[in-house]
Structure 1
């Protein structure tokens, strides 16, 4: 693994020198030039905006709330390396204000009658199930093109992402809107990607990082003497995800049937309506009418909107089972994760399914 260079200013220079040459090797058409150019511009903007967190905290002219958030972020950052055995580098010890609510907007697309995402391949990250844009207008333009081609499309704003250790990733202003604990969870999640990453397997990578985020947050709360966050919001979140995944499962079975398009379209719409009805019944009977997910549920639904749930949550139970098998030892856990990453795709999925089944059955 290539270790990050010590100076973020030096990285800026390296990026400017090397990236044009890399672009020449990668690009093969006007659309590629346009897309990779916005990626380069967006990443370079982020690199240039970075400054040491310690400098911001020490500057009395900076916003007091920002400085307080950054003080708390560094406690979580130290905990990540010292207790969760996540990479100890300059990532998340820098701060960047990029002046917008999200760092990127991801465009997800699937065929009309499939939950298989349209993958996009990149030299560092490998193939992933989305395409990222540093401007919302760029994402909307891509989504419109995909829609014209008959695809189901969804756009999602992203608060943070990992460059997998190639650069020292900063805490971004986009990460600070939901409080100090949310910043901690994002740090744990993104450092999880730095700790281990398998090219071309989004479900594995995101489920792994989500487990690191969730277990890391549980331990972070315990470390500070706080009770586990097993309140109603967490329970509702898990129940909602379960409902979405059940809908995905039914749709997958539906799309495997040899039905004519009009009938398939009608039954697809019926499945989404069933999902809405099941959600409202659960909300009213179990949640006391809490409407926190109403806006998401009542918006237009399609296959692409369900994709993040399958990508980010599918194998979390498997990693939880693996963590339990190694008695909660992070070093042993990461070693076992690396073994999983070395398997073929088929072997890896079979192992993950067996782990998930053992976790769900409580064995």
Structure 2
């Protein structure tokens, strides 16, 4: 339950007025009432679980490790607003213990011979390339139904998400499974969504937030006098991402060919085997046998498993180029991002492509 606080109490009163209206708006769509009901219930439970971070830190009865981690999180939270010019509000100055490893599970789905995600549209967030569930069992049930319809499906657990400034988002216990630096990067990423968001363009939004996360983390380390992050690990991450993106490109070219379903399945399977083979060669020849991505690469493969790479990473080089053009000035960078976001979708994509190629 929310601990007594003037600001949280005021927000609760607003929620009592606003939440039923939002729920009715959601239920007016054609998606099932049960799905929107679990969304509303899950979000409300999360809001009710919040408590001020400073109260947790000051309470000697709480887990000392948790209190120490939250102290570090607040230093990163202050850095986010003061140095990265991200929103200065109560988001991530609250804490919520949800008692599970992920706050939601996202279900991604594509047709068998396409990398176009099955989009789902919502009044606030617009259209996104996944469907979120607060229960892992419900996510698995949805995935099973999609598979029965012949779709390629993948489920991914999510540690945190942004309500885009509608509510004060908390640090969630699911975010505490990583080290202090990873917790900071999650805060940077989610606050970036609050800073700017374009409805119906998941690739733009996630790539923008990922760039802010990565550059923000680099600056966060420098401010604390730490050496740059493990250069080899970052280089290998980027190489792996590029390997997957190259596979996406080849699959898109394949799916445009006039082939029979059997021929398409055979060549699709061959592309996934090529991905595995290219990865193993890179791992053994260039990475000295580093196996950090083995579990992912050896799992069953389909189109949907590749979606997050295109969604979260596709335009990161474009935003990096834009940041460089703005001479590392965050305020000018955000203004330029807003101009990009205001463009019609086709023009926006062309501009991002030109930036990435520069």
Deviations 1:64-87 (A, max 9, x none): 000000000000000000000000
1:219 corresponds to? 219
Describe the shift of the 1:176–1:26 C-alpha distance in structure 2 as closer, same or farther (beyond 3 A). Answer: closer
Gaps of 5+ in 2: none
1:1-363 alignment to 2 at 5 Å?
A: 7-28=7-28, 32-358=32-358
Give the Cα separation in 1 of the matches to 2:333 and 2:69: 31
Describe the shift of the 1:230–1:355 C-alpha distance in structure 2 as closer, same or farther (beyond 3 A). Answer: farther
SS of match in other structure, 2:177? coil
* Conserved 8 A contact 2:107-2:131: yes
The ranges of structure 1 where at least 4 consecutive aligned residues each deviate by more than 4 angstroms after the TM superposition are 28-31
Give the Cα separation in 2 of the matches to 1:75 and 1:186: 14
* Offset of residue 201 of structure 1: 0.2
Describe the shift of the 1:326–1:66 C-alpha distance in structure 2 as closer, same or farther (beyond 3 A). Answer: same
Deviations 1:319-338 (A, max 9, x none): 00000001000000000000
Deviations 1:100-136 (A, max 9, x none): 0000000000000000000000111000000000010
Describe the shift of the 1:284–1:342 C-alpha distance in structure 2 as closer, same or farther (beyond 3 A). Answer: same
* Offset of residue 26 of structure 1: 3.1
* Conserved 8 A contact 1:8-1:47: no
Give the Cα separation in 1 of the matches to 2:6 and 2:85: 20
* Offset of residue 29 of structure 1: 7.9
Q: CA RMSD in A?
A: 1.4
Describe the shift of the 1:262–1:51 C-alpha distance in structure 2 as closer, same or farther (beyond 3 A). Answer: same
* Conserved 8 A contact 2:23-2:40: no
* Conserved 8 A contact 1:12-1:44: no
TM-score by length of 1: 0.95
Gaps of 5+ in 1: 359-363
* Conserved 8 A contact 1:236-1:287: yes
* Offset of residue 24 of structure 1: 2.7
* Offset of residue 292 of structure 1: 1.0
Describe the shift of the 1:61–1:117 C-alpha distance in structure 2 as closer, same or farther (beyond 3 A). Answer: same
* Conserved 8 A contact 2:272-2:301: yes
SS of match in other structure, 2:107? strand
TM-score by length of 2: 0.97
1:361 corresponds to? none
* Offset of residue 30 of structure 1: 9.0
Give the Cα separation in 2 of the matches to 1:262 and 1:6: 64
Give the Cα separation in 2 of the matches to 1:114 and 1:53: 45
Worse-superposed segment, 233-242 or 102-111: 233-242
